[in-house]
């Protein structure tokens, strides 16, 4: 960027065509268009610098060191200009931000994002529509609805489906369990929980999940007043997928105890293993016992994009409700998630009318209001525009090829790990998660859990590679989460070499200490 342009961007003086009233020169309106454009351009320069200069996924800074940089900052004293502001934010945040776009980041469910969605973010934040009512977001209302319809079609739902964008998978899962509870009470107990509170036997309600299902199920059961005791964890098979035979047994045992099965949560893409529960078998059991079936596809929803691997989630169309996280598997910026139901009438369970916002007498076919479908958000960001930009410019097929590449790279990585005597792989993955650990050549006297924890922490504070971890049967394991189509098997080989180096260093120090 030319020197003179940079000076213009960072200047404290107002451009000549803007007002001299400095009290309002930071408000976004027709008189500050030039200032807005320059500020956004300067922000883009910061991001360009982040891309050009970031070579490791993390700086490695320790929390205490970073915290010390905040001590002398007074939020009551504004900075004099944008240059000072960007310098401060770069030092405090950008320089130490985790770089999810680098292949050396394979830790959590954070995907790299696509450029069309980033362009949409600029429009979303500036126009600042709220998605609760039509009069606050006319075109936004129908863009969101079309994307919900499109997602429902990919799932296999018919035109009777509906849904709403949400802040994330945990919120969508809460909606699934809430509808399951309230629908059961209405349909089988003739009791309206929304108006009357819990029925007397609500403490007997039981919800069945895989022992590898997301922790939000326990949190949501607690928030709903059922308590974590309502969650029944079901054992898994050798691939850590919910075992249908154990599910049938668990349901029957709860019935014999006098409890009331109301729902099953199936997982399409477990956080720890990236595997998919047997959706068709689970649906059969749910129908047999009049239970609501919710599918948490927050991670596995990427399979909806793939012609090659879509069959892995066959049966998702049988679910009463589904969680989809576009910001995990559709390469969207946070936040971008949705909750869908097979029968749109079920959303009436959560509808509440307010005279000032969505009055009861309003014709919602003529004048729609998305707030009728949301449980925890009134003012709600127009996140749907990011997905609209992405699909309209890139298309489903291109995104699907990203998904295919990730799955195939993961399988190559699994074979590489499985065939090495340096590692123990717990399971192959339907998607992109591999749980494994480094095994020393001579295990005598070596704490293998401590060794693998050392490997993870050393890489993190070196900033060279970021991996995740988990515990399985009390043992500590490393975890790859591959969500970047730019990650190649060569990157994986390099990362495994680094892991082996740190493992051997730990092993040598341990033997040296034992022999001293």
Concatenating the DSSP letter of every residue in 147-178 gives HHHHHHHHHT--TT-EEEEES-HHHHHHHHHH
Give yes or no for residue 427 having a pLDDT over 50: yes
What is the reported pLDDT for 327?
96
Q: Is the pLDDT of residue 353 over 70?
A: no
State residue 2's pLDDT score: 45
Position 20 confidence tier, pLDDT thresholds 50, 70, 90:
low
Question: How wide is the angle at C-alpha 265 spanned by C-alphas 259 and 270, nearest 5°?
Answer: 135
Please provide the average confidence, as pLDDT, over all residues in the chain: 91
Structural domains in the chain, sorted by start: 3-83 (no CATH), 163-380 (3.40.640.10), 397-515 (3.90.1150.10)
Residue 16's pLDDT band, with cuts at 50, 70 and 90, is low
Q: Could you give the CA distance from residue 388 to residue 392 in angstroms, rounded to a whole number?
A: 6
- In this structure, the number of other CB atoms found within 10 A of the CB of residue 164 comes to 26
Summarised one tens digit per residue, pLDDT across range 306-335 is: 999 999 999 999 999 999 999 999 999 999
| Per-residue pLDDT, 137 | 81
pLDDT value, residue 351:
75
Q: What's the confidence (pLDDT) of residue 12?
A: 47
How far is the C-alpha of 99 from the C-alpha of 52, rounded, in Å? 12
Determine the Cα–Cα distance for residues 421 and 441; give it in Å rounded to an integer.
8
Q: What 8-state DSSP symbol labels residue 236?
A: B
Q: What is the pLDDT of residue 138?
A: 84
Given a cut of 90, is residue 511 above it in pLDDT? no
Q: What is the pLDDT of residues 100-137, one digit of tens each?
A: 999 999 999 999 999 999 999 999 999 998 888 877 88
Beta carbons of 410 and 482 less than 8 angstroms apart: yes
Antiparallel, parallel or unpaired: β 260-267 and 231-234: unpaired
* pLDDT at position 248 over 80: yes
**Tokens 């994002």 appear where?**
113
- Report pLDDT for 18: 46
**Residues in contact with 213: Cβ distance below 8 Å, sequence separation at least 6, in sequence order:** 233, 242, 265, 267, 270, 296
- Least reliable range by pLDDT among 64-78, 302-316, 346-360, 379-393: 346-360
> What are 471's two structure tokens?
């515990």
3-class secondary-structure state, position 479: strand
Contact 249, 285 (CB under 8 A): no
What pLDDT does 1 receive?
Answer: 43
* Residue in 446, 443, 451, 461 with CA at minimum distance from that of residue 500: 451
Q: Output the pLDDT for position 441.
A: 80
Sign of the four-CA dihedral 56, 60, 65, 66: positive
Going by pLDDT thresholds of 50, 70 and 90, the confidence category of residue 6 is very low
The C-alpha R_g of the chain, in whole angstroms, comes to 26
More confident residue, 441 or 71: 71
Give pLDDT, residue 3: 45
How far apart (Å, rounded) are the C-alpha atoms in residues 430 and 306? 13
Quote the CA–CA distance of 165 and 148 in Å, as a whole number: 8
Instruction: Give the Cα separation of 157 and 144 in Å (integer).
Output: 17
Question: Regarding beta strands 292-297 and 260-267, do their DSSP bridges make them parallel or antiparallel, or are they unpaired?
Answer: parallel
* Pairing status of strand 260-267 against strand 205-210: parallel
Comparing 68-82, 121-135, 217-231, 296-310, which segment has the lowest mean pLDDT?
Answer: 121-135
Three-class SS state of 163: strand
Q: How far apart are CA 347 and CA 341, in angstroms?
A: 8
């Amino acid at each position: 960027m030319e020197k003179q342009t940079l000076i213009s961007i960072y200047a404290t003086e107002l451009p000549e065509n803007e007002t001299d009233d400095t009290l309002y020169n930071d408000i976004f309106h027709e008189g500050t268009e030039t200032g807005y454009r320059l500020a956004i351009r300067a922000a883009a320069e910061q991001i360009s610098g982040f891309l050009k200069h970031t070579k490791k996924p993390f700086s490695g800074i320790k929390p205490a060191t970073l915290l010390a940089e905040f001590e002398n900052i007074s939020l009551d004293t504004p900075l004099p200009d944008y240059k000072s502001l960007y310098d401060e934010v770069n030092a405090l945040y950008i320089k130490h931000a985790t770089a999810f776009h680098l292949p050396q980041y394979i830790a959590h469910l954070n995907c790299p994002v696509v450029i069309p969605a980033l362009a949409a973010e600029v429009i979303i934040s500036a126009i600042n529509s709220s998605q609760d009512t039509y009069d606050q977001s006319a075109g936004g209302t129908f863009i969101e609805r079309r994307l919900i319809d499109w997602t429902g079609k990919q799932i296999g739902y018919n035109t009777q489906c509906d849904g709403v964008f949400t802040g994330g998978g945990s919120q969508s899962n809460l909606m699934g369990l809430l509808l399951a509870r309230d629908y059961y009470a209405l349909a089988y107990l003739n009791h309206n929980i929304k108006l009357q509170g819990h029925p007397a036997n609500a403490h007997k309600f039981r919800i069945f999940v895989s022992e590898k299902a997301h922790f939000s199920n326990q949190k949501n059961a607690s928030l709903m007043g059922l308590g974590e005791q309502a969650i029944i964890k079901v054992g898994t098979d050798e691939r850590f997928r919910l075992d249908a035979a154990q599910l049938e047994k668990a349901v029957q045992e709860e019935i014999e105890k006098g409890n009331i099965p109301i729902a099953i949560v199936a997982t399409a893409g477990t956080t720890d293993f990236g595997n998919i529960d047997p959706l068709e078998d689970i649906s059969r059991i749910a129908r047999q016992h009049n239970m609501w079936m919710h599918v948490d596809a927050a991670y596995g929803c990427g399979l909806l994009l793939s012609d090659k691997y879509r069959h892995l989630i066959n049966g998702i169309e049988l679910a009463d409700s589904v969680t989809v996280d576009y910001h995990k598997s559709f390469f969207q910026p946070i936040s971008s998630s949705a909750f869908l139901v097979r029968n749109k009438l079920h959303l009436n369970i959560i509808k509440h009318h307010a005279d000032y916002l969505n009055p009861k007498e309003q014709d919602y076919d003529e004048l729609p209001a998305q707030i009728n479908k949301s449980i925890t958000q009134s003012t709600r960001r127009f996140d749907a525009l990011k997905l609209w930009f992405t699909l309209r410019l890139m298309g489903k097929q291109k995104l699907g090829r990203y998904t295919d590449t990730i799955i195939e790279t993961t399988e190559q990585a699994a074979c590489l790990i499985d065939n090495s005597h340096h590692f123990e792989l717990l399971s192959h993955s339907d998607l992109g998660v591999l749980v494994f650990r480094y095994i020393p050549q001579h295990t005598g006297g070596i704490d293998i859990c401590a060794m693998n924890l050392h490997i993870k922490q050393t890489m993190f504070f070196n900033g060279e590679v970021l991996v995740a971890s988990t515990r399985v049967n009390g043992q500590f394991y490393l975890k790859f989460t591959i969500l970047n189509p730019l990650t190649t098997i060569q990157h994986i080989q390099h990362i495994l070499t680094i892991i082996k180096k740190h493992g051997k260093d730990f092993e040598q120090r341990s033997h040296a200490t034992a022999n001293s």
